[in-house]
Amino acid sequence: MPGEAGVRYGFMRAAMSAPFLEREEEMNLAWKWRRERDEVALHRLAAAHMRLVISIASRFRHYGLSMADLVQEGHVGLLEAAARFEPEREVRFSTYATWWIRAAIQDHILRNWSIVRGGTSSAQKALFFSLRRLRWRLSRNGQESSTEIYSKIATAIGVSEKDVALMDSRLAGPDLSLNAPVSESEDNGAERGDFLVDEAPLPDETVSGRIDDERRSRQLRKAMRVLTDRELRVIRARKLSEDTVTLEALGTSLGISKERVRQIESRALQKLKRALGDGLDAAG
């Protein structure tokens, strides 16, 4: 069996045929690595537990990633476990390594299963890897609605029902590329992204609008210099404030009648119109 597939097959066969370690031999190898940094001891310890890596990796095959990649990531977790293992605790290395192997494989799946990153908290990881199993178990009787199932899963894992629904929708189908063709039968080369319409203005329109706004603001500030203090106060209160002040309220504040305020406002607007017109003529 030549090529990459042959290499993988040979690796798997070698891993599965590696001899088991007795407890005493396992501890001796662990102490040699810990005290003397004996690379040969580390290799023997890891090689004897590669069947554990393969066994754990096989449980995650349904996530659509290659078995070789899962085993490789599991091997990384195995080496991490060997680096952190404390023989003095008198725990079997396989028991300790199982957590590190599974964690490495799960992190790899979370990084590569979707281009949309999922949650990285322990609760979100538990949701990602347990949702299908829990949903299948709860929906076997066929009498509970999705809302009821989501509620029970959320309670069991410690997340919100919204998180459960969102994760369920993500697991329902694969990512779709915007560059993928709309239909295989179409010959016009239309892609999914062609039908996404952005309502925002183009960059040049945005810049042009900003420049025009700044120009108008400068012209208005310059034109307002022709107003008296009272006219300026009226215009600001009536035209430039987010909360427009009524004629009556402004008249009370200024100590004049409502009609007088209206006259001042009218005269100020005429002066501004003339000033802005003169400014535009000068700019032209």
Higher pLDDT, 27 or 191: 27
Residue 1 confidence (pLDDT): 44
Neighbours of 111 (CB within 10 A): 12
**pLDDT tens-place string over residues 83-99:** 888 888 888 999 999 99
pLDDT, residue 165, reads: 75
Residue 260 predicted with pLDDT over 90: yes
Q: Judge whether residue 175 has pLDDT over 70.
A: no
Flag whether pLDDT at 257 surpasses 90: yes
Q: Which stretch of 42-46, 51-55, 103-107, 124-128 has the lowest confidence by average pLDDT? A: 124-128
Averaged pLDDT of the chain: 78
233: exposed, middle or buried (Cβ count in 10 Å: 0-12, 13-18, 19+): middle
Q: How many CB atoms lie within 10 A of CB 127?
A: 25
| For residue 179, pLDDT beyond 90 | no
Measured CA distances, 59 to 67, 100, 206 (Å)? 10, 15, 52
pLDDT at position 275 is: 85
Q: Tell me: the pLDDT tens digits for 223-248? A: 888 889 999 999 888 888 888 889 99
**Residue with more model confidence, 165 or 237:** 237
pTM (2 decimals)? 0.48
Mean pLDDT, residues 75-83 taken together? 90
Residue-level pLDDT at 37? 87
Alpha helices in the chain (DSSP H): 3-17, 23-36, 39-47, 50-58, 67-84, 93-112, 122-138, 146-157, 161-171, 203-223, 229-239, 247-254, 258-283
Residues 226 and 263: beta-carbon distance below 8 Å: no
- 123 burial class (0-12, 13-18, 19+ CB within 10 angstroms)? middle
